[in-house]
Structure 1
Amino acid sequence: MLRSKTSIVLGLAIAATAALSACGGGGDDGVAARVGLSKPTVRVIHAIPGGPNVDVLQNGAKTNLLNEPYKFVSTYRSVDEGNQLFSFNVTGTNTELGRATINTHTGHKYTAVAMPGSESAADVVQIDDPFEKGLFSDKARVRALNASFNAQNVDIYLTTPAVDLNSVTPTFAAVAFKSTVPASGQDSIDLNGGTYRLRITTAGSKTVIFDSGTLTLANNADWLITTIPVDGIKATLPNRIKVLVARGDDESQAGLELVTQPSQ
């Protein structure tokens, strides 16, 4: 009986590996991750427009993430379980912009986002993603973060391009400043791959303050949609925002900046 069960598990793993390879599953979306057996992983994001380049430190020691500019999104890095301190220093100095201590667990993926704080410091938001994804699922996984102090509560719509916003509810409703939807500790939402349009309104309104135009969301994509002030920490105009998309499925252009497009 034990041998039979082992064979079944092995067969499922082989089939899942083949399925993931066929539909573009990457190293961060393998079988071990989907069954919750992978080592914890952490990625870091530099989301401070106009901010200095940064060196990333882990537990006080420099990593190989050095002199990284705004829009930088690292790949997921394996770490040990337990408290892991990640800090962002101005490149080549001991001047720390911000830090986050992440309590890591097997099977989880974590993100530390350096976002606009004050002129001399960054706020660092951490996100815990349990990554509970079906073994054979090819759904894309999406989450939203509001890093815009000048647009402190927003509704975010990710729809097919021609949809009238008056006919739908937000994909991510009432996303507050420094908060994510779904919240840290909950799974990202699942969406089918395809053609989408990202529109953002002030919470409870249908007045669009950001419109991406047409986007392609791939099968098995892993997106963090982050709103940020167009003018960085010196922003004074309310609701003047742009979007940084961290794409876990595309290492060649992981940090994709979107600016609002003319009305369609």
Structure 2
Amino acid sequence: METWMNSRRVLIILLCMLSLALVSCSSKNSGGGAAKIRVVNVIPDAAAISLQLNTDTALVNALPFQGLTQYLSTGTGSREFKVSANGGTTFAIDTTLSVGANNYSYIVFAPVASAQGLLVLETGFTTPNSGTFNFRVINVAAGIGAVDVYLTVAGADLNSTSPNLANVGVGAISGLVAVNTGTYELRVTAAGTKDVIYDTGAQAFTNNQATYQAVIFTKGSSRLPNVALLNVDDAGTGQVNDNLLAEFKVLNASSVASPLNVLVDNNIVLSNIPFAGISNYVTTSAGSHSFA
């Protein structure tokens, strides 16, 4: 009887030790819970990027330019973010960041030769009042500089309107502003000016008490950016809204007698360009136009 009791005590001790070992291993592997990361590729000369964390299997493979994932689960703790571009075997970005059990967006931007990554925390926002939404701006438009951002009724005169968010510098994340839900035209200007460099037309911002993030980035132009609108929701949804503006300039190398006038859609937009002269940039709507 005593032998059986002793054996039972040994078995209980072993089971307890096994239980502790399992808890310890589980805690080590999870790092206190999973992180969720959305990846956004706005490197203008990277047709595709891949992201690997530590030595794990790649979190993202062949994500195209202007591509964005939804939230992807990964481990927490100190994580090495390694980004390769265009199928390369070297890393355009290789940096170690601390990741908690939160939601994030990881935005990769700037040309491949000087690529950067920005890890944006998307957990812990204060819920806005009913009938409003949170809005903030993330400016990664290298080469464009600081910007002002407007949410207005369609066609509103910016000359009599103050920006919702002003002077957001490159690499900066603005604070949150509360805006009434509704349909708005999203426009971006160079900071301190009314010079519109981005216009998306009317967009619905109708999710009550939601949080929206406008990521401003370059798309092969040093003046005209694009915007990715990221929703801070359970899935990590979002979309890229293309700029409705385009720019052009004219070099007069024609055999037409100087000076040269240029018509777009039968309207004179440039006049008196001398031979070998170069005009300033002219802003017009993106799309098909006739030039004469």
TM normalised by structure 1 equals: 0.68
Give the aligned partner of residue 116 of structure 1: 110
Aligned match for 1:88, one of 83, 87, 90 = 83
- Can you list the C-alpha shifts for 1:119-162, whole angstroms capped at 9, x where unaligned? 43411122223432339967533321222222111111122224
Distance in 2 between residues matched to 1:165 and 1:174, nearest whole Å? 16
> CA RMSD for the aligned pairs?
3.1
Q: Flag structure 1 segments of 5+ consecutive residues without an equivalent.
A: 1-36, 183-187
Task: Work out the CA distance in 2 between the residues paired with 1:86 and 1:178.
Answer: 18
The residue that corresponds to 1:98 in the other structure is 93
Larger RCO: 1 or 2 (CA < 8 Å, sep 6+): 1
CA–CA distance in structure 2, aligned partners of residues 258 and 124 of structure 1: 22
Per the alignment, in what secondary structure is the counterpart of residue 61 of structure 1? Answer: coil
Compared with structure 1, are the counterparts of its residues 125 and 140 closer, same or farther at alpha carbon in structure 2 (3 Å cutoff)? same
Task: Give yes or no for the alignment of 1:179 onto 2:172.
Answer: yes
| Distance (Å, rounded) in 2 between the aligned partners of 1:87 and 1:132 | 28
Shift of 1:209: 1.9
Which residues in structure 2 correspond to 1:38-187 (within 5 Å)?
40-90=35-85, 92-106=87-101, 108-117=102-111, 119-134=112-127, 139-182=132-175
Query: 2: CA distance between counterparts of 1:129 and 1:215?
Result: 22
Tell me whether 1:203 sits opposite 2:197 in the alignment. no
Q: Is the 8 A contact 1:109 1:129 kept in 2?
A: yes
Question: Is the Cα–Cα contact under 8 Å of residues 100 and 126 in structure 1 kept in the other structure?
Answer: no
> Which residue is equivalent to 2:230?
246
Which of 153, 170, 177 is matched with 1:189 structurally? 177
**Equivalent residue number for residue 216 of structure 2:** 227
Are the equivalent residues in 2 in contact too, given 1:243–1:258 (CA < 8 A)?
A: yes
Instruction: Give the Å deviation of 1:115.
Output: 0.5
Query: Per-residue displacement from partner, 1:162-218 (whole Å, max 9, x unpaired)?
Result: 433233322221111121212xxxxx4343332011111111112222221111123
SS at structure 2 position matched to 1:180: coil
Matching residue within 215, 238, 258 for 2:203 = 215
The superposition leaves residues 54-107 of structure 1 with CA deviations (integer Å, 9 ceiling, x where unpaired) of 12111232335211101221222344442223222135542212244332334x
TM-score (norm 2): 0.63
Structure 1 SS opposite 2:92: strand
Contiguous gaps of at least 5 residues in structure 2: 1-31, 246-283, 286-292
Larger Rg: 2
